[in-house]
Amino acid sequence: MMTNSVDCDPDEVPVGVPVSVAFVPTDREDVAIPAFRLD
């Protein structure tokens, strides 16, 4: 699965660290894209 991370530098995130889903808005009002941020 491919996804994006937000509020962090992906190159500095170690494997196994806890994350939470964050929904990123798009141009469409009814669509948001899931991304992940560090807990």
Q: How far, in Å, CA of 13 to CA of 17, rounded?
A: 7
Structural domain tally of the chain?
1
Q: What pTM does this model have?
A: 0.67
pLDDT score at 13 = 86
pLDDT by 10s per residue, the chain, length 39: 788 899 998 888 899 999 999 999 999 999 999 999 999
Q: How far, in Å, CA of 26 to CA of 21, rounded?
A: 16
User: Residue 9 is part of which domain span?
Assistant: 1-39
pLDDT score at 32 = 95
With tokens 């669509």, the residue in question is 31
pLDDT score at 33 = 93
Q: How far, in Å, CA of 28 to CA of 23, rounded?
A: 13
Answer yes or no: are the C-beta atoms of 24 and 32 closer than 8 Å: yes
30: its two tokens: 């009814």
pLDDT score at 3 = 84
User: Which residues, in sequence order, are CB contacts of 11 under 8 Å at separation 6+?
Assistant: none
